Amino acid sequence: MMIISGLVLKSIMTPLDIWAFNGVLMSMIAIYLFLIGICSVYLYDTIRAKKTSEIIGNIQLKSTGTAGALNYDNAIFSIWNSASSLATRRNV
Q: What is the pLDDT of residues 5-36, one digit of tens each?
A: 565 666 656 778 778 888 888 888 888 999 99
- Residue 91's pLDDT is 59
Model's pTM, two decimal places?
0.42
Contact 78, 88 (CB under 8 A): no
Q: Are residues 28 and 52 in the same domain?
A: yes
Contact 62, 68 (CB under 8 A): yes
Q: How many residues does the chain have?
A: 92
Q: Are residues 40 and 66 in the same domain?
A: no
Structural domain that includes position 25: 17-58
Contact 20, 13 (CB under 8 A): no
| Helix, strand, or coil (residue 64) | coil
Q: Are residues 35 and 46 in the same domain?
A: yes
